[in-house]
Chain A
């Protein structure tokens, strides 16, 4: 995991718009951002600010119009489907708002699924570490339907981590959870960055969730407008209010 650069993921002057002509909507307007290795970053912004688009483009799930996107040493834009698939398979981990576990597989099988798909061996020691960290040891043989929402999301977290990806992308990971389960998941993401050096990028609209991150970047109208380091929930909330205010002014 010792790359030449300190960035696990990087966007350089990324532009992205949807639709054409009159109906065109610019989602990203020249976004440049570095995600340092081993740090937990939250991306915030009002609806339509482009935060999800940025994440999708970084993860190779969506294409960009111009600029460059890097995951570690790999340039994402320009890769074809196979290259993107391999990139997602080995360098990227995902956590979704809707847990997205396979109902036919047990918790353990869900966790090791990315490795199984790639035909890679499971590193037992690392698997045990991850499982113990998320506290799922006694739930490994359960099917998703037998798990609570919080447990399911922890399975999803473990799944994202087990392949030791370059970066884990989490899209509103606490959106479907109660506050206690949400706190558990966020605590786990924080620990994985601090203790395991795992780069985590999380999209959220919850200031409290963002306060778990080492750094928060704020997007508005497809641009990065603010950045906070070691944020508190209050500071995030304050910034968001200003952003809304700015927007009102702009409008």
Chain B
């Protein structure tokens, strides 16, 4: 029996390849994700070991917010006294006060240079550190800097040239005194760009405090271990200081990156899961067709005495063989793809992340085989069971397989669709991801089961649009011939398109809602903000600029805010210190829920009703607020503002609180022009105020909204790219179905050629069939996706999704894409069909 099965598998190589390919792609995605993230993880670990190789013990002020931010320097600074204390600890060899902060270089085009996620650092130059001067000399004057080789290469700077930098202060220009690299001839450690100043300049520009240090780095003397020294220093300084060994620091940093990487891995695996889910449809379909085509062969085996169990065994065994082969190939391809992506990743940062060799973690191998074999066998069991039920005699006859009734799948489909819808509704309402995912899964299976029923009328309508000639009519009829086959093929395509459409609907609704709110409620005409604005963002500007704005003619009212993360009663919140609360209320159209929306006196704060409920606060309650710097302070809730879609979940603090923020600089400013003044005129007057700060842009309301919305476009693009694999697998499914149908209909094709059908007509016939199937799948996907999207938007109504936006253009393009997919998928099967030898085809059994 084993031999018969293996022979049967090998004798049909094409079938093996086609049914295996979808598994290969899914397995490739899964194992590739593991290889990529594991390789990057180890590379980052080694990078941090290198970065901290020079550090035995590091001293910093203990962060108050408990932030993971590596740029903790601004949490608090150390003094020369601290330095002296550390130096007095026995066993220290080299004690250096570090000055580290953010310094963003400006490139030739006047724009700020960007990295691929690594920091743009400013430091104080130290001789004898890891940094090795390659050219020039150390900075001696306050207007001299040395820059890292990667920065020099990226920005095209050489020794003696001028370089402009933005720090806590706006643009300042320096002379490049030297260029440095790192041990091992590295240009950069992990893609960072570093500028080193003289100590005094660094302290002023990076920390805003002369004589301050962000941390103290200690090298241990001979015979003293890191741990011993760490303990000694900790004992000397006390608990207000954070003292860590180099090993701890490198571990902490690596763990932080690792967290990001494992999230990245989950995202990739999620999409791999979708791809495999689609793959199941394809394999299920392939095996159904194969079993149907082999009915006679299987019946012969039964007639010769094979048991039902053996029958199922042969089909499942075939699935195991295909799954095994596909897993091996998929694992190989996955390692290749993982390695390729890791290499791309490492070169994007200026070749600065050294890959620690491509590794294949056990997780990649185990998941490859588990996924590949389980998925294949799972998909093959159903057709196998069905095959075993066919009585041998019926199969031996020229079996005109009758259409089985669709009642049972339809009832099951309706039940599953309803159950999936319920799970989804609950999931969206409660924000429960697992419910959403299982709901999607169940709903997709449900809709797939309903598809055969829908396929008849829909396919005939689509077909009529396409079939204007005889080959077209034949193609249309062929696609309606086996509703189940067409349905599953189309359902596979549906999954990808439904997900993309659902996400598009949600994102379009978000954009529509944002725009509606901005146009209807917000009266600010100009918005001054920086790239990457946010509590962690670098781009901020001097508070004096806001005063300058207020003095301009045509400016009716203006206000701005400082932003930082804060702890309210120990819970992390987003805090803003607003320069003028009443103006904000007017420009944003806000209203108070409890108390009066007035200026906030010292020691009072305001918060929105949702946060008030969550934190269990009302007007008059007292809370403890911890800011990045300084000690915790007690605030009284001045008023609670009504839920709105402009200012969401922000704790509003009086402007004085900003003194204890990480950076005492404004993050955003809003301007309303005087009635009758043209907004552009005022914009032209505001812009020059920020001429020395290319990070800051002045935008009118609609441009600002557009910019915000464009971030959503990036999200959509990423999702589209990741879902492309699911769609690619679905395309394989269409090819597969067509190819198997062509084999199945060899005699018909022979006849058509014999009675005078041209090759081109044969190809057109196959193409119409293919396009009908793909367009049907796309329509299903658009329908299901719209339903999903609308459901999600409705469920998220309280989260600011006030308006529903249907992305008609995108949906149209998906439909068009499906038609193109149909044409492309038909190419190979059509060529195969057209090339059939007429005589052989007509006598084909």
Interface segment out of the listed A38-46, A109-117, A180-188, A200-208: A109-117
Q: Which B residues from 698 to 757 make CB contacts under 8 A with A? A: 747-748, 750-757
CA–CA, A62 and B477, complex, Å: 30
Give the residues in chain A near B753, CB-CB below 8 Å.
85, 88
Q: Which of A104, A105, A116, A159 has the most CB of B within 10 A?
A: A104
Chain A residue, CB-CB nearest to B475: A104
Chain B residue, CB-CB nearest to A100: B751
Chain B residue, CB-CB nearest to A89: B756
Known A-B contacts A62-B839, A100-B747, A100-B748; the reply to A88 vs B477 at CB < 8 A is: no
**B511 interfacial contact with A, CB 8 Å:** no
CA–CA, A62 and B750, complex, Å: 13
Binary A-proximity of B742-781 (CB < 8 A = 1, otherwise 0)? 0000011011111111110100000000000000000000
Q: Name the distance in Å between A159's Cβ and chain B's nearest Cβ.
A: 7
Q: Name the distance in Å between A58's Cβ and chain B's nearest Cβ.
A: 13
Contact B842 A96 (CB under 8 A): yes
Chain B residue, CB-CB nearest to A56: B839
CA–CA, A113 and B470, complex, Å: 8
Give the residues in chain A near B4, CB-CB below 8 Å.
none
Give the residues in chain B near A94, CB-CB below 8 Å.
751, 754-755
Q: Which B residues from 59 to 98 make CB contacts under 8 A with A? A: none
Give the residues in chain A near B747, CB-CB below 8 Å.
98, 100
**A86 interfacial contact with B, CB 8 Å:** yes
Contact A82 B758 (CB under 8 A): yes
Contact A114 B759 (CB under 8 A): no
Contact A88 B470 (CB under 8 A): no
Give the residues in chain B near A159, CB-CB below 8 Å.
755
CA–CA, A103 and B842, complex, Å: 15
Q: What's the interface size class on B, roughly? A: 20 to 34
Binary B-proximity of A91-132 (CB < 8 A = 1, otherwise 0)? 001101010101111000000011011110000000000000
CA–CA, A83 and B175, complex, Å: 81
Contact B755 A114 (CB under 8 A): yes
Known A-B contacts A56-B839, A62-B839, A100-B747; the reply to A119 vs B755 at CB < 8 A is: no
Give the residues in chain A near B478, CB-CB below 8 Å.
104
Known A-B contacts A85-B758, A94-B755, A145-B400; the reply to A61 vs B839 at CB < 8 A is: yes
**B347 interfacial contact with A, CB 8 Å:** no
- The prevalent SS among residues of B at the interface is helix
CA–CA, A89 and B761, complex, Å: 13
Among A100, A102, A118, contact of B756 (Cβ-Cβ < 8 Å): A118
Give the residues in chain A near B400, CB-CB below 8 Å.
145
CA–CA, A96 and B839, complex, Å: 11
CA–CA, A247 and B835, complex, Å: 39
Give the residues in chain A near B471, CB-CB below 8 Å.
117
Give the residues in chain B near A119, CB-CB below 8 Å.
469-470
Known A-B contacts A104-B481, A145-B400; the reply to A117 vs B751 at CB < 8 A is: no
**A22 interfacial contact with B, CB 8 Å:** no
Contact A113 B755 (CB under 8 A): yes
**A138 interfacial contact with B, CB 8 Å:** no
Q: Name the distance in Å between A173's Cβ and chain B's nearest Cβ.
A: 14
Contact B474 A104 (CB under 8 A): yes
Q: Which A residues from 71 to 96 make CB contacts under 8 A with B? A: 81-82, 85-86, 88-90, 93-94, 96
Q: Name the distance in Å between B838's Cβ and chain A's nearest Cβ.
A: 5
Q: Which B residues from 465 to 481 make CB contacts under 8 A with A? A: 469-471, 473-474, 477-478, 480-481
Contact B761 A117 (CB under 8 A): yes
Give the residues in chain B near A85, CB-CB below 8 Å.
753, 756-759
Contact B755 A89 (CB under 8 A): yes
Q: Name the distance in Å between A37's Cβ and chain B's nearest Cβ.
A: 21
Chain A residue, CB-CB nearest to B844: A98
CA–CA, A86 and B751, complex, Å: 14
CA–CA, A85 and B478, complex, Å: 22
Give the residues in chain A near B759, CB-CB below 8 Å.
81-82, 85
Q: Name the distance in Å between A175's Cβ and chain B's nearest Cβ.
A: 12
Binary A-proximity of B180-215 (CB < 8 A = 1, otherwise 0)? 000000000000000000000000000000000000
Q: Name the distance in Å between B470's Cβ and chain A's nearest Cβ.
A: 4
Among B480, B750, B756, contact of A114 (Cβ-Cβ < 8 Å): B756
Q: Which of B470, B481, B748, B752 has the most CB of A within 10 A?
A: B470
CA–CA, A73 and B474, complex, Å: 32
Binary A-proximity of B829-840 (CB < 8 A = 1, otherwise 0)? 000000000110
Q: Name the distance in Å between A118's Cβ and chain B's nearest Cβ.
A: 6
Give the residues in chain A near B474, CB-CB below 8 Å.
102, 104-105
CA–CA, A85 and B758, complex, Å: 6
Q: Name the distance in Å between B288's Cβ and chain A's nearest Cβ.
A: 19
Q: Name the distance in Å between A114's Cβ and chain B's nearest Cβ.
A: 5
Give the residues in chain A near B470, CB-CB below 8 Å.
113, 116-117, 119
Q: Which A residues from 138 to 168 make CB contacts under 8 A with B? A: 145, 159
Chain A residue, CB-CB nearest to B479: A104
Give the residues in chain A near B761, CB-CB below 8 Å.
117
CA–CA, A113 and B752, complex, Å: 9
Q: Name the distance in Å between B27's Cβ and chain A's nearest Cβ.
A: 37
Give the residues in chain B near A62, CB-CB below 8 Å.
839
Q: Name the distance in Å between A56's Cβ and chain B's nearest Cβ.
A: 6
Q: Which B residues from 113 to 132 make CB contacts under 8 A with A? A: none
Known A-B contacts A89-B756, A104-B478, A117-B470; the reply to A61 vs B751 at CB < 8 A is: no
Among A61, A82, A86, A104, contact of B838 (Cβ-Cβ < 8 Å): A61
Among A56, A102, A116, contact of B751 (Cβ-Cβ < 8 Å): A102
Give the residues in chain A near B480, CB-CB below 8 Å.
104
Known A-B contacts A98-B747, A104-B474, A113-B470; the reply to A88 vs B756 at CB < 8 A is: yes
Q: Name the distance in Å between A130's Cβ and chain B's nearest Cβ.
A: 15
Chain B residue, CB-CB nearest to A145: B400
Contact A117 B477 (CB under 8 A): no
Q: Name the distance in Å between B844's Cβ and chain A's nearest Cβ.
A: 10
CA–CA, A88 and B477, complex, Å: 24
CA–CA, A82 and B756, complex, Å: 9
Chain B residue, CB-CB nearest to A53: B839
Among B473, B839, B842, contact of A100 (Cβ-Cβ < 8 Å): B842
Give the residues in chain A near B469, CB-CB below 8 Å.
119
Q: Name the distance in Å between B761's Cβ and chain A's nearest Cβ.
A: 7
Contact A88 B754 (CB under 8 A): yes
Contact B752 A96 (CB under 8 A): no
CA–CA, A59 and B201, complex, Å: 96
CA–CA, A145 and B752, complex, Å: 18
Give the residues in chain B near A96, CB-CB below 8 Å.
751, 842
Q: Name the distance in Å between A51's Cβ and chain B's nearest Cβ.
A: 14
Give the residues in chain B near A89, CB-CB below 8 Å.
755-757
CA–CA, A88 and B750, complex, Å: 12
Give the residues in chain A near B842, CB-CB below 8 Å.
96, 100
Q: Which of B478, B750, B752, B754 has the most CB of A within 10 A?
A: B754
Give the residues in chain B near A118, CB-CB below 8 Å.
756
Contact A104 B757 (CB under 8 A): no
Chain A residue, CB-CB nearest to B751: A100
CA–CA, A93 and B751, complex, Å: 11
Q: Name the distance in Å between B466's Cβ and chain A's nearest Cβ.
A: 15
CA–CA, A96 and B759, complex, Å: 21
CA–CA, A231 and B751, complex, Å: 32
CA–CA, A198 and B72, complex, Å: 98
Give the residues in chain A near B473, CB-CB below 8 Å.
116
Q: A88-B754, A100-B751 are in contact. List 17 more A-B contacts (CB 8 A).
A: A61-B839, A85-B757, A85-B759, A86-B758, A94-B754, A96-B751, A100-B750, A103-B748, A104-B480, A104-B481, A114-B755, A117-B470, A117-B752, A117-B755, A117-B761, A119-B470, A159-B755
19 pairs, A vs B, C-beta closer than 8 Å: A56-B839, A61-B838, A61-B839, A62-B839, A82-B758, A85-B753, A85-B756, A85-B758, A86-B756, A86-B758, A88-B755, A89-B757, A103-B748, A104-B477, A104-B478, A113-B470, A116-B473, A117-B756, A117-B757
B residues lining the A interface (CB < 8 Å): 400, 469-471, 473-474, 477-478, 480-481, 747-748, 750-759, 761, 838-839, 842
Give 7 nearest A-B pairs by CB, closest first: A89-B756, A104-B477, A116-B470, A100-B751, A88-B756, A114-B755, A117-B757
